[in-house]
Structure 1
Amino acid sequence: MKMTQLFTTALAGCLITVALAGCAGGGNNDNNSSKNTNQSASSEKVKLTALVVKHSLTKDVNTMQWLNDLQDSVGVEIEWQQISADWDQKKSVLFASGEIPDLLFNATTDADYVQYQGLFEDLSPLINESATNISQMFNDHPEAKVLAETIDGKIYGVPRYRSVWPDTSPTMFINKTWLDNLGLELPTTWDELEDVLIAFRDGDPNQNGDTTDEIPMDFDKITSSYSPRLLLGSLGLPLSNYTQNGYFVEDGIVKNFLIDDRFKTLMIYLQKLYKEGLINQEVITQDYSKYQSLARGDGNIAKVGFTWGWESGDRFGNELRSQYVALPQLKQHSDSTHELYWSYDHYQIGYSGNAVAMSSKTKNKEAAMKFIDAMYDEKTSIEVLFGGMNDTDKGIKDNGDGTYQVLPPADAQLDPGTWKWTNSLADMGAFYIRDEMKQKLTLGEDMQRVVEEKSTYDQLLAKADVRINVYPQGFMKYSQEDINILAMNQANINHITDQSWAIWMTDASKDIEAEWNDYVKQVNNVGMKQNLEIRQKAYEAYLAQL
């Protein structure tokens, strides 16, 4: 987004003033996991500045007791700058000024380190010297270090890892109450699903006397996480680590489902369903908020029969969620012999990069590194994610026996997910949630439901093999030249693919079979072939690092 020169200058001056306020130095202090009652006066603490990009719901970080206690225990005093909106527009001005806060949480990308060379500190030496928690994360999960390292082996941003989330993002939901009202069983094939959707269209399954207000099927955009792309797993296509652009790995080869014959098969099926009025007729134009609100229905009257989402409470709301069940992966036909898959998203859900970075101008880098590493402590990490373990934050209960429990919202008006985002840094924080927390930590009601619903796909997810059928996009490194080529090509590719799938599905006069070969040729010619070659090279380099 372009800004006028006057606005840019004014904003830069404002941000620079904030950034210059705190690149102070000081002495080192012991890193304890609890508050040090013998801590010296605040004037003797190391003063640091930090910028945190947080969710719009998240409360003032200065009111988080666990965070104040952590600063005391490490011996630092932090002046926080908090950003909840428009960071992408603001950061270019701040970074271009050359003066940034000592620490930046959830504020940087790999591209920033290339564009603003010299602005950020290479953390590798500091991690090796003193960051025991981060070093443990790298030792336990070498792929986390691969994620953190640049193409030349430097670490400018420390990643985060969480073990307690499931290994897939989407769940396929169907309204079991509607099935029961119509005397129907859960479908097991695409053919049976079509029959069920027809019954949903015609049979007034929500029993409100109106046979026109039901939406048999609804989904987000075809390449999104919550869409019929999941049905490609019915055809033996191993989806993983969702990306917007359709890339996946099969037998060690990087491919793209948008030019795969199995996608053609799926589009022919969807075209048929759309023509029969079984798919939301506004599916192409609706945004995600509309997609979510439709599934929330009208009071206790459901509107959507079959769809995809993260979790039943999130997708349908508390009033309707009990009507829906997770539906196992479907076979295409009863006699199909395709291997079944579900989207394995562990790399996407369990890991994310650049949780925290440091300015190269930070005066006391050792103290700043101690504070960063303290956030990766076992107990502190779950406080970062779920809220403090104290009577003020009321996020987690320490059971006193080495186990912990995520507490229900202290505000009864909030659901567990909203409370987490309000009360903690949540998924935008810096943390290492160790694998043993799966046994030590009792999750909240919403996440227990997530784990239970997604267990439907456990057997299919077990087929994931990181060396032959898992696409690790976030871990793959590219040169700046390759990044530029990929971006330019992808814009040309998307121009064709986005229009094609939408027209194919909504225009029954289109002969997908007859148009397919020309479509694939066009997509390859505008850059897909080159992008696949670049990604294959990066994929093989990633495997070599494991």
Structure 2
Amino acid sequence: MVQHSNKMTAKKWAMGLLGAAMVFGIAGCGGNNVANNVESGTSSYNKEGLPIVNEPVKLKVLTVRWGSMGDTFTQNQWLKDLEKNTNVKIEWQVMSSNDWAEQKSILLASGTLPDVIIGNQSFGDSDIVNNLSYFRPLDDYIEQNMPNLKAAMQETPEMKKISTFPDGKIYSLPARLPSRPKSSRQPVINKVWLDKLGLEVPDTVDELYSVFKAFKEKDPNGNGKQDEIPYIELGNDIISPFGIADLNNNFMVIKEGNAVFYPTSEEYKKALEWENKLYSEGLLDKELFTQDDTMRSAKFQNPDAPIVGFSYQWTPDAVFGKWSDQYVTIPPIAGPDGNRYTIGNPIGMNLARNELLITTSSKYPEVAARWADQFYTNEASIQNFWGAIGTVIQKNDNNTYTLMDPPNGTSADAWYWDQSLRDFGPKYVSPSFEKSIVLSPKSGDGLKLELDKLGSEFATTPFPNVMYTAEEFQELPTLTTDIDGYVNTMRAQFITKGGIDKGWDDYVNQLNKMGLEKLIKIRTDAYSRYTSVK
């Protein structure tokens, strides 16, 4: 938890930035010519080896944490050893996501930023694109000062693709997280219900429909009531068997190498017809469009008897409470075309960008770059994802790594967040190194990897997390607000009232009037830039 004093310190620091701008300024600190940076080019700076500097240098590093997580991660032994070994002293500025939007505005208005920003929760694409003068292009630093990251980008080229901005430069550094699955949420079903009704695990959408009918009509929870809800959620998962594997929730998929807006596709139309059939026969929750997460969670964990038959989840134990043992993860459902589609990514659900920025306010950019490069080794990355070796991770004699048990009363995930940067910050774990990480298949990350075996071979290449220009960012909000809102409204109407065949042409025409062609052009232009990065 964040202590009150930590939050106040962070706030006072952010508020003081306006005054600090008068002291530091950024006019003389811009540019990307590494050799010409006088401050870091002194005899104290070492281009190779450790320490990075002979005389201690202090860097201000800002990161944003969820809610009130606090700064306990700064006591990670690897981070403490890094200070000692590099001679780079870190002044951490740990902000809370609760008030970060306000503090971010103050920070950007000040014109003076800390030396380094860590974590993609701090600044997103539009923040960076619209404030490029505050952030250093990092291409030359990667080439000259960051051999670990340079090697990582050569081994995993997607890291460079996702980090390259529309002007062809890299302003923020990526991460490849360890031991991440290829699949996102997978189908989960109440196996006790299946067994009681003598049913096999459904394999196709037609079989799933038959199972839903049995769940609804035959009282599988045995309480004498017809309170069973075969399926209670609305989203991309339930229509994924129709080839709609939309990982990033932007209504785009990749089909035969092309970017496609699927809400006007024939596959989507068939998916809507299937959803309407389920809804009209009472197989979808009648509160599908009105319930919030709290109401849905209460149904998953209904105290008297399980009432939900089927779902899509990361792991079954995450949502069903005391009924978790009744649910099993199953392979993806085959669609009308006979194929299976898993929402996820064939190269893994493990790449992120905007994990580290070096600002033009920094007087020591080469020092910051070399410091950041220390994070891109295998051992550094696992210690910044779970916790330090000797504290959270045990390094074994055979050069494998296992996770220790968390303290009593603490969940493993909470412990990892307490002990490390976890999801945020620069990291690279080589695919070959992942074989050395031994995780328990019964819980947490290890359980997800075990379940991932059921669907990973069907993980469908998603429309990637592409970059947009400042001009595109100006146009996108209006287009997506109107178009996305209309798509969602009409999906609800088509599901609850039908009339899909009769209303389809009018629906498509209305989307075109809203500027669909312009939206598709922005998306496809961004995709073309993404695929052209070498």
TM range (shorter): 0.7 to 0.9
1:308 corresponds to which of 308, 312, 324 = 312
How does 1:326-337 map onto structure 2 within 5 Å? 326-332=329-335, 336-337=336-337
Q: Which residue is 2:364 aligned to? A: 364
Q: Which residue is 2:396 aligned to? A: 399
Cα offset, 1:21, TM superposition: 10
| Deviations 1:466-524, CA, capped at 9 Å, x for gaps | xxxx34432x33332233233321111012111111122223xx311111111012112
- The answer to whether the 8 Å contact 1:57/1:421 transfers is no
Which sits farther off after the overlay, 22-31 or 156-165?
22-31
TM-score (norm 1): 0.84
Cα distance change of structure 1 residues 31 and 297 upon mapping to structure 2, 3 Å threshold: farther
CA distance in 1 between counterparts of 2:280 and 2:499 reads 13
| Deviations 1:329-384, CA, capped at 9 Å, x for gaps | 3335xxx5443322242567221110010111211222212221111122011011
Cα offset, 1:304, TM superposition: 1.4
Residue type matched to 1:442 in 2? V
CA distance in 2 between counterparts of 1:211 and 1:21 reads 72
CA distance in 2 between counterparts of 1:343 and 1:62 reads 35
Matched, 1:486 2:476: yes
Cα distance change of structure 1 residues 153 and 528 upon mapping to structure 2, 3 Å threshold: same
- The answer to whether the 8 Å contact 1:58/1:423 transfers is no
- The answer to whether the 8 Å contact 2:383/2:420 transfers is yes
| Deviations 1:513-538, CA, capped at 9 Å, x for gaps | 11111101211221222222232233
CA distance in 1 between counterparts of 2:262 and 2:74 reads 46
Q: Which residue is 2:437 aligned to? A: 441
CA distance in 1 between counterparts of 2:404 and 2:151 reads 28
Residue type matched to 1:28 in 2? Y
Q: Which residue is 1:56 aligned to? A: 67
- The answer to whether the 8 Å contact 1:22/1:101 transfers is no
Cα distance change of structure 1 residues 265 and 247 upon mapping to structure 2, 3 Å threshold: same
CA distance in 2 between counterparts of 1:442 and 1:152 reads 41
Q: Which residue is 1:76 aligned to? A: 88
- The answer to whether the 8 Å contact 1:490/1:528 transfers is no
SS of the residue aligned with 2:357?
A: strand
Matched, 1:215 2:229: yes
Percent identity at matched positions?
A: 28
Cα distance change of structure 1 residues 54 and 400 upon mapping to structure 2, 3 Å threshold: farther
- The answer to whether the 8 Å contact 1:19/1:101 transfers is no
Cα distance change of structure 1 residues 506 and 404 upon mapping to structure 2, 3 Å threshold: same
Q: Which residue is 1:230 aligned to? A: 240
SS of the residue aligned with 1:118?
A: helix
Q: Which residue is 1:100 aligned to? A: 113
- The answer to whether the 8 Å contact 1:148/1:353 transfers is yes
TM-score (norm 2): 0.86
Q: Which residue is 2:164 aligned to? A: 149
CA distance in 1 between counterparts of 2:414 and 2:317 reads 12
Unaligned runs of 5+ in 1: 1-8, 465-469
SS of the residue aligned with 1:302?
A: coil
SS of the residue aligned with 1:349?
A: coil
- The answer to whether the 8 Å contact 2:24/2:112 transfers is no
How does 1:151-166 map onto structure 2 within 5 Å? 151-166=166-181
Residue type matched to 2:464 in 1? Q
SS of the residue aligned with 1:160?
A: strand
Cα distance change of structure 1 residues 518 and 116 upon mapping to structure 2, 3 Å threshold: same
1:525 corresponds to which of 513, 516, 519 = 513
Cα distance change of structure 1 residues 280 and 22 upon mapping to structure 2, 3 Å threshold: farther
Cα distance change of structure 1 residues 366 and 385 upon mapping to structure 2, 3 Å threshold: same
- The answer to whether the 8 Å contact 2:186/2:332 transfers is no
How does 1:72-471 map onto structure 2 within 5 Å? 72-85=84-97, 86-106=99-119, 107-207=122-222, 209-219=223-233, 221-223=234-236, 227-233=237-243, 239=245, 242-298=247-303, 301-317=305-321, 319-332=322-335, 336-346=336-346, 349-390=349-390, 394-409=391-406, 411-444=407-440, 445-461=443-459, 470-471=461-462
Q: How many residues matched?
A: 503
2:15 corresponds to which of 8, 13, 16 = 13
Which sits farther off after the overlay, 289-298 or 304-313?
289-298
CA distance in 1 between counterparts of 2:464 and 2:408 reads 40
Q: Which residue is 1:3 aligned to? A: none
Cα offset, 1:109, TM superposition: 2.0
| Deviations 1:79-98, CA, capped at 9 Å, x for gaps | 11112223233212211210
